[in-house]
């Protein structure tokens, strides 16, 4: 391998030459108190930091950025911290998904416009993970991801609480009249007790694990709880490693190959991971020029057993997973399903990284002969209701509903659903299929996590806890239930979901991967002819850019002009 020399560094163009511009760059760096010994001839490492006081999952990132810097200094690099928009899932509306591509663009352009040789990406809360990887892939400078890590377990009256999953569970009990305000208040106090990401196998844990399997983190990084001192040491080690990656010129496209994406998908499936991972991994693969589509997802899912006994599909939380050996041990259990020759950020192959990793608790990481499910957690459905596909997390659904036909109860949008769902006169039975329209990439906009429609209150009081629900929305990775999601094309642009009327019979056949609207073609054609396209929701700014360029769920919801594409020239330095 040819190692770079200082004059090969990208930053050399800014600092190392003898002209007026370089004088300005050096003198202005000195303005910040740095001497030429601090930076001259050294790899300049961007620490792209998504810290924000509107993002509790990243509350520790100021400290972690300092710990990364320590590693960069130790290894002979020059660290610089670059703040980027923080997509905090709990507080941003209508959904962070609307802004995933904005953070991806920001990451790419921060790296391009500045004298950067390599990047450490600090992210973790759901969309920050794919966004930063997408941007880094497009810029294609050496980069390593430092996941925020899961928060500690929640506690309430001796019970363990899991992010998201237990919110939905206890909210249903409250609506059913089984939980008083005092208990509800105690759950609010106990469910989020440290910094870090959701500690169920939600989207954040799924994506962090997938990115580790992809090879973009240090081995074992994704399982470490945020508040564990091992997390700090991992951050510092990532700082040391990125300096070497620059000298080695180990770039994202060297790591993020088609085979590496198959590893990421397989791992997400084996963990019973979030449905959101489908959209994100397809978008990430698109940036890296790797081929990945819904059918490949389904094929990989069918052959991959779910071996992580983690909520919402299973029983345990990320802290338990870490103590049981974490992702390295889980990957070692499915090593025969992985491409072990893929190179990873530490310069070793995946096979070397997981060699000898042991499982310490067989109830958390299950043996192959008794998995949670023989097949991976996600299935791709098709039919006249979803010509371009839909997905279901069947491991988190009531098995009795996975093959079901029933009359549709249609809500034309979220507000309609919220206004009527608990109406005692709502004409629903446990057999009804709840349909939510206009919640997709353009309809939401941003495809909010509305796909786990609440079970109507009158059915909750009858003891019903799951129903078939269908939408073009996403759902939180911590959610559960028989929820068909990501229906494409979406209703807002004229997809068949928008033509469904209350009373139509819908048939879900998960084993056969079918989703069918039992309405004659002639009647559907009549409804289509009468359909009036809605107006774009955000008529200016980033919302309008999103509306004009976002792709549908089966394509990953990236902007069409960011997917794959040509190499952008390096900026001129005048
Ligand atoms: Fe940030 Fe779940 S809200 S990871």
Q: Do 46 and 176 lie in a common domain?
A: no
Which of 190, 216, 236 is at the close of a domain? 190
In a domain, 22, yes or no: no
In a domain, 555, yes or no: no
Q: Do 200 and 184 lie in a common domain?
A: no
Q: How far apart, in Å, are the Cα atoms of 486 and each of 196, 207, 319, 403, 411?
A: 27, 18, 30, 19, 16
Q: Do 405 and 443 lie in a common domain?
A: yes
DSSP 8-state assignment for residue 356: T
Q: Do 203 and 173 lie in a common domain?
A: no
Average pLDDT, integer, range 417-443 = 96
According to DSSP, the β-strands at 505-509 and 403-411 are antiparallel
Check whether the bond before 489 is cis (ω within 30° of 0).
yes
Q: In this structure, what CATH number is given to the domain that contains residue 272?
A: 3.40.50.2300
pLDDT at 1 over 70: no
Cβ neighbours around 572 below 10 Å, total? 6
Contact indicator for 563, 287 with CB cutoff of 8 Å: yes
3 state DSSP class of 258: helix
pLDDT at 172 over 90: no
Q: Do 462 and 421 lie in a common domain?
A: yes
Q: What is the pLDDT of residue 565?
A: 66
3 state DSSP class of 377: coil
Q: What is the pLDDT of residue 287?
A: 96
Looking at ligand 1, which atom is closest to the CA of residue 56? 1
Contact indicator for 246, 45 with CB cutoff of 8 Å: yes
Q: In this structure, what CATH number is given to the domain that contains residue 419?
A: 3.50.30.80
Q: How is residue 21 written in tokens?
A: 């511009």
Q: How far apart, in Å, are the Cα atoms of 400 and each of 135, 311, 341?
A: 42, 20, 41
209 CA to centre of ligand 1 in angstroms:
14
330 CA to centre of ligand 1 in angstroms:
23
pLDDT at 132 over 90: yes
Contacting residues for 512 by C-beta, under 8 A, at least 6 apart:
none
CA atoms of 286 and 565, how far apart (whole Å): 9
Q: Atom 3, ligand 1: which residue's CA is nearest? A: 89
Q: What is the pLDDT of residues 490-544, one digit of tens each?
A: 999 999 999 999 999 999 999 999 999 999 999 999 999 999 999 888 999 999 9
Q: What is the pLDDT of residue 265?
A: 97
In a domain, 12, yes or no: no
Q: What is the pLDDT of residue 85?
A: 98
In a domain, 316, yes or no: yes
Q: What is the pLDDT of residue 192?
A: 95
Choice from 197, 276, 448 to test ligand 1 binding pocket (greatest atom count within 8 A of CB): 197
DSSP labels for 105-145?
HHHHHHHHHTT-SEEEEEE-STTHHHHHHHHHHHHT--EEE
Looking at ligand 1, which atom is closest to the CA of residue 148? 4
Q: Do 228 and 101 lie in a common domain?
A: yes
Q: What is the pLDDT of residue 574?
A: 80
Total number of domains in the chain: 3
Looking up tokens 């329209």 gives 437
In a domain, 63, yes or no: yes
CA atoms of 533 and 438, how far apart (whole Å): 11
Plot region of 66 (φ>0 → left; ψ -120 to 50 → alpha; else → beta): alpha
Choice from 57, 103, 211, 318 to test ligand 1 binding pocket (greatest atom count within 8 A of CB): 57
Which of 134, 169, 190 is at the close of a domain? 190
Q: Do 130 and 274 lie in a common domain?
A: yes
Contact indicator for 265, 281 with CB cutoff of 8 Å: yes
Average pLDDT, integer, range 466-484 = 92
Q: What is the pLDDT of residues 204-244, one digit of tens each?
A: 999 999 999 999 999 999 999 999 999 999 999 999 999 99
Share of the chain above pLDDT 70, in %: 99
Contacting residues for 401 by C-beta, under 8 A, at least 6 apart:
466, 467, 468, 482, 508
Average pLDDT, integer, range 166-192 = 91
Looking at ligand 1, which atom is closest to the CA of residue 55? 1
Q: What is the pLDDT of residue 566?
A: 65
In a domain, 397, yes or no: yes
Q: Do 293 and 179 lie in a common domain?
A: no
Q: Atom 1, ligand 1: which residue's CA is nearest? A: 125
552 CA to centre of ligand 1 in angstroms:
24
pLDDT at 313 over 90: no
Q: Do 233 and 87 lie in a common domain?
A: yes
CA atoms of 84 and 96, how far apart (whole Å): 14
Q: What is the pLDDT of residues 29-72, one digit of tens each?
A: 999 999 999 999 999 999 999 999 999 999 999 999 999 999 99
Q: What is the pLDDT of residue 167?
A: 87
Q: What is the pLDDT of residue 376?
A: 87
CA of residue 99 relative to chain centroid, distance = 13
Q: Do 232 and 300 lie in a common domain?
A: yes
Q: Do 93 and 47 lie in a common domain?
A: yes
Pocket-forming residues, ligand 1, beta carbon under 6 Å: 57, 89-90, 125-126, 163, 197-198, 202, 204
Average pLDDT of the chain to the nearest whole number:
95
Q: How is residue 325 written in tokens?
A: 């050996």
Q: Do 297 and 428 lie in a common domain?
A: no
Q: How is residue 266 written in tokens?
A: 């397989």
Cβ neighbours around 398 below 10 Å, total? 16
In a domain, 488, yes or no: yes
Strand order in the sheet with 44-49: 78-83, 44-49, 118-123, 143-147
Between 572 and 267, the more confident residue is 267
Q: What is the pLDDT of residue 569?
A: 87
Prediction pTM value = 0.96
Q: What is the pLDDT of residues 142-161, one digit of tens each?
A: 999 999 999 999 999 999 99
CA of residue 464 relative to chain centroid, distance = 30
Contact indicator for 130, 100 with CB cutoff of 8 Å: yes
Q: What is the pLDDT of residues 352-410, one digit of tens each?
A: 999 999 999 999 999 999 999 998 888 999 999 999 999 999 888 999 999 999 999 99
In a domain, 130, yes or no: yes
Q: Domain range for residue 162?
A: 155-190
């Amino acid at each position: 391998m040819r190692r770079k020399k200082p004059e090969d560094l990208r930053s050399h163009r800014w600092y190392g030459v003898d002209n007026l511009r370089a004088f300005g760059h050096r003198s202005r760096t000195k303005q910040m108190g740095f001497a030429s010994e601090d930076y001259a001839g050294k790899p300049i490492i961007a620490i792209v930091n998504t810290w924000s006081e509107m993002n509790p999952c990243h509350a520790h990132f100021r400290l972690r950025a300092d710990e990364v810097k320590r590693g960069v200094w130790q290894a002979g690099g020059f660290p610089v911290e670059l703040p980027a928009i923080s997509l905090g899932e709990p507080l941003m509306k209508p959904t962070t998904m609307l802004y995933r591509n904005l953070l991806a663009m920001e990451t790419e352009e921060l790296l391009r416009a500045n004298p950067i040789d390599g990047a450490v990406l600090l992210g973790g809360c759901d969309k920050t993970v794919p966004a930063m990887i997408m941007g880094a892939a497009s810029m294609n400078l050496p980069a390593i991801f430092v996941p925020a890590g899961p928060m500690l377990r929640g506690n309430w009256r001796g019970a363990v609480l899991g992010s998201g999953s237990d919110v939905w569970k206890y909210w249903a009990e409250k609506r059913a009249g089984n939980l008083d305000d005092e208990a509800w208040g105690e759950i609010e106090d106990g469910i989020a007790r440290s910094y870090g990401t959701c500690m169920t196998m939600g989207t954040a844990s799924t994506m962090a694990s997938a990115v580790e399997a992809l090879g973009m983190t240090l081995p074992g990084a994704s399982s470490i709880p945020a508040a564990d001192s091992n997390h700090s040491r991992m951050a510092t080690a990532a700082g040391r490693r990125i300096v070497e990656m620059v000298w080695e010129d180990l770039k994202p496209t060297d790591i993020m190959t088609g085979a590496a994406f198959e590893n990421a998908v397989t791992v997400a499936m084996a963990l019973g991971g979030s449905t959101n991972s489908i959209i994100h991994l397809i978008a990430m693969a698109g940036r890296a020029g790797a081929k990945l589509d819904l059918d490949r997802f389904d094929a990989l899912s069918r052959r991959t057993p779910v071996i992580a006994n983690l909520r919402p599909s299973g029983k345990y939380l990320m802290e338990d997973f870490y103590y049981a050996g974490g992702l390295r041990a889980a990957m070692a259990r499915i090593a025969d399903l992985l491409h072990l020759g893929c190179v990873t950020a530490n310069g070793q192959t995946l096979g070397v990284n997981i060699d000898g990793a042991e499982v310490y608790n067989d109830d958390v990481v299950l043996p192959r002969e008794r998995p949670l499910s023989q097949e991976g957690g996600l299935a791709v459905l098709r039919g006249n209701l979803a010509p371009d596909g839909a997905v279901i997390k069947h491991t988190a659904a009531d098995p009795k509903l996975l093959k079901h036909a029933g009359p549709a109860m249609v809500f034309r949008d979220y507000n309609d659903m919220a206004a009527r769902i608990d109406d005692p006169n709502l004409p629903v039975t446990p057999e009804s299929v709840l349909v939510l329209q206009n919640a997709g990439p353009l309809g939401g906009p941003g495809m909010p996590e509305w796909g786990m429609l609440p079970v109507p209150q009158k059915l909750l009081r009858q003891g019903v806890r799951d129903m078939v629900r269908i939408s073009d929305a996403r759902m939180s990775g911590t959610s559960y239930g028989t929820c068909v999601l990501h229906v494409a094309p979406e209703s807002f642009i004229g997809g068949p979901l928008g033509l469904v009327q209350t009373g139509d019979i819908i048939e879900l056949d998960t084993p056969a991967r079918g989703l069918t609207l039992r309405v004659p073609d002639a009647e559907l054609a009549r409804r289509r002819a009468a359909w009036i396209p809605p107006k774009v929701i955000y008529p200016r700014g980033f919302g309008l850019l999103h509306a004009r360029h976002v792709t549908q769920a089966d394509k990953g919801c990236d902007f069409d002009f960011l997917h794959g594409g040509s190499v952008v020239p390096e900026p001129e330095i005048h």
